[in-house]
Structure 1
Amino acid sequence: MKKILIILMVFFITKGANAQAGVSDTLAYVNQIKANKSQYIGKPFSVLLADLQAGIKFFTPRSGMSAYKNKETSTGFYFIIPEYMEDFGSYNFEIKWATPLDRAVTDQIYGSGQYAGQWRPEPAQYYGTGIIADIVVDWRYNN
């Protein structure tokens, strides 16, 4: 019985340690995405998604000029769930789309999760087909 308890304890401790694996410095990781953006421009967003080591937690559809008010010209992606306004400038990157996305569709996806902007399989599938025109890191991170 003691052996079983020891094995279970080791299993849960190991499992917990693995859950903490990933990116230890999110700011450096966001800047790494910026530095490697040439690998992703012109490719579907799914290529970048497959390479991400940190999980996206939140997204925000963005529109450009008034001529594109029904189109999503870019999308903000966050590695945290913003709780305060200042969080919207933290740990994020923006994808500018080669062909603007349909804002009616993205607004529906944006509002359909447990909370607005929740990253889950449905937005990953939809955005994964979009072609990346540029990757922009929040201005606060420009060196």
Structure 2
Amino acid sequence: MQENYWIDIIGRQKIDDDVGEIKLTTLGSYVTKGDTRFIVYKEYDADRNNESTTSVLKVDGNNTVTLMRGSGNTRLILEKGKRHQCQYDTGFGALLVGVFTSEVDSRLHDKGGELAVDYTLDINADLSSINEIRITIKEAEHKDVKNSTASNG
């Protein structure tokens, strides 16, 4: 898969009065199939010998984003105005969580664009966190592009 797009991600999470933020800039793939867009990128965990985890964001139209991470243990359905029960991998096991999405703002086009999603997570119907994701996608310059291939080390 060709990693020919810069993907900038800002994720914010509020738990009670604590606010955390992560920022990630990486090369990844961005593909359009009909009205569906796929954003694919890898995250590397320094605590696990830089082991990579692949994340896929499937954006259907302007109202639904499905976030899939790793080998399928995390699958969040982010659909504007709806609550879904979803599986979330904590690294120590999977939890069934409620996900209510208040906003999906997709300004994606064939060359990239922006995506913003606001949602809450609840466990046993108790609010766990308030979350927002902001993603910007733009074509990488040719010198930045690389191909991902499987290797046998």
TM-score, normalising length: structure 2: 0.24
Structure number with greater CO (CA < 8 Å, separation at least 6) is 1
Higher helix share: 1
TM-score, normalising length: structure 1: 0.25
